[in-house]
Structure 1
Amino acid sequence: MTTKNPDPVAIAHGKITEEPLRKLPKYPSWAIKLTMAITGLIFGLFVLVHMVGNLKIYMPDEDGKAPIDVYGAWLRDLGAPLLPHEGALWIFRIVLLVAIVLHIYGAFALTARAHQARGKFRRTNLIGGLNSFTSRTMLVTGIILLAFIIFHILDLTMGVTPAASSAFHEGTIHANMVASFSRPAVAIFYIIAMVVLFLHLSHGVWLAASDLGITGRRWRQAILVIAYLVPAIVMIGNISMPLLILCGVIS
């Protein structure tokens, strides 16, 4: 900000400055928050659809083929013959990659600005509860989820050992999931990651609604339900698979 009605004499003696207190950032905070809201909702929609597709592991084989393997083959041929093999998949991957880069940049940029604005002061006497906990740990849960995403890609997408099982074979999704989640450490890591995803996504949906300008009382009540219900469904659905494979129910 600048001074109002400055005294020319005081300015001449360096007592008053017309210079801004701080330089304007290259990107305004509202634009970064809006970007994070949009990219966060993209991820939320992705994990929901991804979970629904993976639940095909519970379906019985048809003509000797696992339905989840058929689903994977359909994804690779999606858009054919207009798009090349795996063309649609690569479009989804590029969109998600751009979204995650923007989301990470926004998270660190806003955190840095918040620390700079507070200086040596810290917030105290915060209201307790789950919402306060998820708010304070958004950056931490985000970093954990980034590590999980990298491990997940190496494990079940690229088949890179030691993240992936030595039995990995491209295209055999059912067998790859069973081989991977049969390892206790991997199954436990996936379960913990899904709990972290619930915490991050639930608060993220609530923040996204605020940043997108959804302020009506009824809308806020509906968003509050969605913010906990959808992440809970994703968490339970995704946890059930490694848990049941680890217990030998799915093989």
Structure 2
Amino acid sequence: MTTKNPDPVAIVHGKITEEPLRERPKYPSWALKLTMAITGLIFGLFVLVHMVGNLKIYLPFGRDGHAPIDHYGEWLRTLGDPLLPREGALWIFRIVLLVAIALHIYGAFALTKRAHESRGKFRRTNLIGGLNSFTSRTMLVTGLILLAFIIFHILDLTVGVGPAASAEFAHGAIRDNMIHSFSRIWVSVFYIIAMVMLFLHLTHGVWLAASDLGITGRRWRQAILVIAYLVPAVVMIGNISMPLAILFGWIS
């Protein structure tokens, strides 16, 4: 291996230099990988719980004439009352998720940069094919698509800012907002594409997180492999079913 060294004479005479090949990074790679594993699992747990909550859109109206999903949204806003102010728990969740996403993005770009610097002009060849190889190569791409979707989704169904949100958006009317939003075909198509990207990203992410957290036992690895495909698939199917149900008029 050839290296750029400021003292070529020392190399010629067989002398050893203690100068490192590259500067020591501020944060070691193992710490970045561990951070990405933990923050990724936090986000994965959130999307699973978020999907389960949103499936309440399929429940019939209650005796009071209100949709169960709207009651669920109000419960989230009053969670922790009277200890916490209104939406206090929601803001705690949001801040935790925001910090987790920021750390996850930083780790992704930092590790990608280090990988390119270490590899130099040489690129990996003769990679094993299959879904796992594809998800590995596209983690950064699927992550960027998901980031764009998260921003759009917040503007659409949380904040209600146009043109992301529909003109009929009303704060607290979760069921109606979902119906008005997903009735727009382009929004539903974008949502479905994002859910496929989420499946690909989570599948490889869960598998990587298990490795970075030190889960190496054969039986544990087999269980993690099943979870890595099953949970993201359930999230993808559950989330995709909602815009399709609205587009086909099954929910109105």
**TM-score interval w.r.t. the shorter chain?**
over 0.9
Structure 2 gaps, min length 5: 1-8
**In the alignment, structure 1 residue 90 sits paired with structure 2 residue 91:** yes
| Other-structure match for 2:183 | 182
> Cα distance 1:242–1:21, how it changes in 2: closer, same or farther (>3 A)?
same
Task: Tell me the secondary structure at the aligned position of residue 101 of structure 1.
Answer: helix
Matched letter for residue 86 of structure 1: E
**In the alignment, structure 1 residue 233 sits paired with structure 2 residue 244:** no
| Other-structure match for 1:146 | 147
Distance 1:10 1:100 in 2: 47
| Other-structure match for 2:109 | 108
Task: Tell me the secondary structure at the aligned position of residue 145 of structure 1.
Answer: helix
In the TM superposition, what are the counterparts of 1:216-231 in structure 2 within 5 Å?
216-231=217-232
Distance 2:10 2:189 in 1: 66
Percent identical among aligned pairs is 84
How far the C-alpha of 1:17 sits from its partner, in A, is 2.4
| Other-structure match for 1:248 | 249
What's the TM-score, normalizing by structure 2?
0.94
- Summarize deviations over 1:163-210 as a string: whole Å, max 9, x none: 000000000000000000000000010001000000000100000000
| Other-structure match for 1:36 | 36
Distance 2:218 2:16 in 1: 46
* Greater displacement, 29-38 / 19-28: 19-28
How far the C-alpha of 1:14 sits from its partner, in A, is 10
What's the TM-score, normalizing by structure 1?
0.95
Task: Tell me the secondary structure at the aligned position of residue 232 of structure 1.
Answer: helix
| Other-structure match for 2:3 | none
| Other-structure match for 2:134 | 133
| Other-structure match for 2:46 | 46
- List structure 1 segments (4+ residues) > 4 angstroms apart after TM superposition: 13-16
| Other-structure match for 1:119 | 120
Distance 1:21 1:65 in 2: 65
> Cα distance 1:10–1:119, how it changes in 2: closer, same or farther (>3 A)?
closer
| Other-structure match for 1:173 | 174
Distance 1:27 1:189 in 2: 36
Matched letter for residue 135 of structure 1: S
Matched letter for residue 22 of structure 2: R
How far the C-alpha of 1:124 sits from its partner, in A, is 0.1
| Other-structure match for 1:3 | none
Structure 1 gaps, min length 5: 1-8
Distance 1:166 1:101 in 2: 31
How far the C-alpha of 1:123 sits from its partner, in A, is 0.1
Distance 1:21 1:198 in 2: 39
Root mean square deviation, CA, Å: 1.5
| Other-structure match for 1:73 | 74
- Summarize deviations over 1:34-56 as a string: whole Å, max 9, x none: 00000000000000000000000
| Other-structure match for 1:197 | 198
How far the C-alpha of 1:18 sits from its partner, in A, is 2.0
Distance 1:184 1:54 in 2: 19
Matched letter for residue 108 of structure 1: F
Distance 2:191 2:21 in 1: 47
